[in-house]
Amino acid sequence: MPETFDVKLEKKTYRPDPSYLEGSSMGDWETAYGRFMDDPEGFWAGIAGELEWFRTWDRVKEWKHPYARWFTGAKLNITHNCLDRHAAGDRRNKVALIWRGEEEGTERMYTYRQLHRLVMRFANALKKMGIKKGDTVCIYMPLVPEQVVAILACARIGAVHSIVYGGFGAAALHTRIRDAKAKIVITADVGFRRGKRVPLKTIVDEAVINASSVEKVIVLRRTKPLLELISEMEVDFDEVMEGMAPACEPEVMDAEDPLFILYTSGTTGTPKGIVHTCGGYMVGTYYTSKYVFDLKENDIYWCTADPGWITGHSYIVYGPLAAGATVLITETVPDYPDPGTWWQIVEEFGVTIFYTAPTAIRMFMRFGEEWPGRYNLTSLRILGSVGEPLNPEAFEWYYHVIGKSACPVLDTWWQTETGMHMIATLVGEPMKPGFAGRPIPGVVVDVVDREGNPVPPGIGGLLVIKEPWPSMMRTVHGNDERYRTYWNTIDACYTAGDLAVRDEDGYIMVLGRSDDIIIVAGHNLGTAEVESALVSHEAVAEAAVIGKPDPLKGQAVKAFVILRLGFEPGEKLKQDLIYHVRMGLGPIAMPSEIEFVTSLPKTRSGKIMRRVLKAKEMGMDPGDISTLED
C-alpha cells in the first residue's frame, strides 16, 4: 500500500438545469444525506417498505464485525418484486425488456406479463430437472432475453446463479464452474459479435471436462441447421420449456439466503466468488436504480454492460426491473457495423437514460463527433458511467457531445463486492469533471492513510467504507478468510482497494487501484490469473504482468516472461503466448505487449514486485525497494 500523496485537483463545476433537482425523487443531497444520518435504519426501512415482502423483518440490521445481516427474519422473493408486483398491477402491459440484435431490424420486446410467464415456465423446467433451492446454476450466455429469463428463473426457485461473462475462455469458465459446483450450465450455440459467431457451446464442452458437479447443459440453439446435441447430458432450451405451465409460485427466501455468486478477480490465486443475498441486495439495487438514476415511469433505460458483470446483475436485471423500468438490452458492440450503431439505437428507441463505461466513451471520442451528430439524441435525459475513473476529457465530451450540455452525467463508483452504487453525484447536483461525487445517502465513506486516519482534502489515500450497507457481499464462496480481509486490513472499515482523494466540498475523485488488479476496458483482471495462464504454456517458466496506461482501454496488460530452457524468444512465440491466454481466459485478458526477460524483481520471500516492474516501465521512482532480493 502506498503512503498518502498530494493530488492536484480540478476545479471546474457544471450546474444542471434546476428542473432536474425540482423533479428528482431523491431531492438535494444535503437534505437526503441528513435524513439518512439522523436515522440510518429508519432510512433503509423506508426504502425496503416500498417493496413487497412475504414477511416483514424483525430487525433492519445486525452487525457483528465483519458480518452483517440485513432485514433479519424477513421473507421475500426478488422476482416477486421484479415481475409479479408489476404484472399484477398497472405495469402489466408495460414493456419490461427490449432486445436489439446485431442486425438492424432484429428486435424483440417483452411486456412485464410476458416476461413473468416465461420466467415461470423456465423455472418449472429447472425444477423438473431436479434443481432445488440452494443448488448452483452456471449461466454462460450471449446477451439475449433468454439470459434474463434464465437468471430470473433461478431466483424464482431459490437456485443460486453464477453468471460467467460470455467473453471468458474455457479455462476461466472451468475454474468458475468447479468452484461453484454448478449442477447445470445454461449456454447457447453461439453469440454474435461483429458479424461473427462466437462458439459458446464449444467452449462449454471443454470447460465441463473434469467438472463432475455438472449434470445437465441446457443449450439455446439460435442458428440453423440446429447444432447437434452430443450426449444425454445436453438438452435444448426451447424443448425443456415446452409444456411447462406459466405458473410457478416463488420460493420463499430468507432475506439472508444467497441469491447469486459472481466471480471477480483477486490479487492472488483464483478469482473470488462474491456472494450476495436476497433481501439486502434487492433493497440496494432497487434504491439506487430508482433514486440515483431517478427513474421515471416513461424512461427507456439502457445500460450497455453485460449480465456477466455486476453492472449487468444490478443495473440491467434486478434493480431496474424491481423499479418497474423499461430496460433495453442489445448484443451489439459500439463500433459495428459502424461507430453510429449505438446512437442509432438511442434515436430509434428513444433512450432516456444511458449508462456506459469510460472506455466506450473514449472510443467514441476517437471516432469523432460526426457519428453521434448523425442521430437525434434529444430523448436522452441522464447519462451514467461506471467501471473506471471517468477522466475529465471524457466527461467533457460525454457531457457536451452526447448530452448537449444539458444532461446530468453520473459517474458511479462501486464494485462487485458493494452490489450497488456507493459514490455518485445525484441528479441535479453540481457536477465536477474527474470526481465521482459524494457518497450517496445510505453510504458512509472516507479517505484514510494506512493507519485508518482520515486524510485532509487534496491528499490522496485509501478509499474505505465505514458502515455496513444492505447490498454488501456477505462472504467469498468457500473462502471466508478472504472475505474477512476486506474488513480487517484497516481497523473496522471495509477497504475497497482503490486510491482516492477528496476536495473541500467532500467530492471524491477515484484514482485507481491500490493493488495488483488491472482494469482493462472496465473489466477487472487479476494479475495472478493472467500469469498462471501464461505459465501454463510449455515455453514459459515464469511470468509477471502489470497494467500500463492505455489511452483507450484505461489500462493494457503488459507481460514479462522468463522462458524455459530450450525456447527461443521471438515474434512467433509472442503471438503464440497471446493466443494461448486468449483461448484460456478470453480476449479481454490478452496481453498487448510481451517482453522476454531473464529475471524478475522479487522480495526475499519470493513474491514478484510488480510495482518495481511498473515503475521501471514508466520511468518512475519504484519507491521503497528495501524488500527487493537483489
Contact 136, 261 (CB under 8 A): yes
Q: Does 436 bind ligand WTA (CB under 6 A)?
A: yes
Q: Which of 136, 187, 288, 412 binds ligand WTA (CB under 6 A)?
A: 412
**Contact letters for ligand WTA, residues 308-337 (x by CB under 6 A):** -xxx--------------------------
Q: Which of 185, 386, 422, 556 binds ligand WTA (CB under 6 A)?
A: 386
CB of 302 to ligand WTA, least distance (A): 17
How is 106-166 classified by DSSP, letter by letter?
-EEEEEHHHHHHHHHHHHHHHHHTT--TT-EEEEE--SSHHHHHHHHHHHHHTPEEEE--T
Distance (Å, whole) CA 295 – CA 292: 8
- The total number of residues written for the chain in this structure: 630
Q: Does 416 bind ligand WTA (CB under 6 A)?
A: yes
Distance (Å, whole) CA 546 – CA 530: 10
CB of 472 to ligand WTA, least distance (A): 13
Q: Does 413 bind ligand WTA (CB under 6 A)?
A: yes
CB of 601 to ligand WTA, least distance (A): 24
CA 243 centroid distance within chain: 35
Q: Which of 237, 281, 318, 414 binds ligand WTA (CB under 6 A)?
A: 414
Contact 545, 557 (CB under 8 A): yes
Number of residues that bind ligand WTA (CB under 6 A): 22
Handedness of CA 147, 150, 153, 159 (dihedral sign): negative
Instruction: Give one word for 586, left, alpha or beta, with left for phi > 0 and alpha for psi -120 to 50.
Output: left
Distances from the Cα of 231 to the Cαs of 207, 219, 220, 358, in angstroms? 15, 12, 15, 43
CB of 461 to ligand WTA, least distance (A): 15
Q: Does 462 bind ligand WTA (CB under 6 A)?
A: no
Q: CB-based burial of residue 8 (10 Å sphere; 0-12 exposed, 13-18 middle, 19+ buried)?
A: exposed
Nearer to ligand WTA, 98 or 436 (CB): 436
Nearer to ligand WTA, 388 or 529 (CB): 388
Sequence-distant (≥ 6) Cβ neighbours of residue 377 within 8 angstroms: 343, 346, 347, 402, 404
Per CB under 6 A, which region of 33-41, 114-122, 322-330, 413-421 contacts ligand WTA? 413-421
Q: Does 421 bind ligand WTA (CB under 6 A)?
A: no
Handedness of CA 495, 500, 501, 505 (dihedral sign): negative
Q: Which of 24, 415, 471, 555 binds ligand WTA (CB under 6 A)?
A: 415
Distance (Å, whole) CA 58 – CA 406: 45
CB of 109 to ligand WTA, least distance (A): 28
Which phi and psi angles does 503 have, rounded to 5°?
A: -105, -175
Q: Which of 114, 124, 147, 264 binds ligand WTA (CB under 6 A)?
A: 264
Cell of 253: 427466501
Q: Does 119 bind ligand WTA (CB under 6 A)?
A: no
Q: Which of 388, 516, 529, 531 binds ligand WTA (CB under 6 A)?
A: 388
Q: Does 524 bind ligand WTA (CB under 6 A)?
A: yes
Q: Which residue of the chain is nearest ligand WTA when measured via CB?
A: 416
**Contact letters for ligand WTA, residues 496-515 (x by CB under 6 A):** xxx-----------x--x--
CB of 245 to ligand WTA, least distance (A): 37
Place of cell 444535503: 30
- Kindly list the residues in this chain that would bind ligand WTA in the complex (CB under 6 A): 264, 309-311, 386-389, 411-416, 436, 496-498, 510, 513, 519, 524
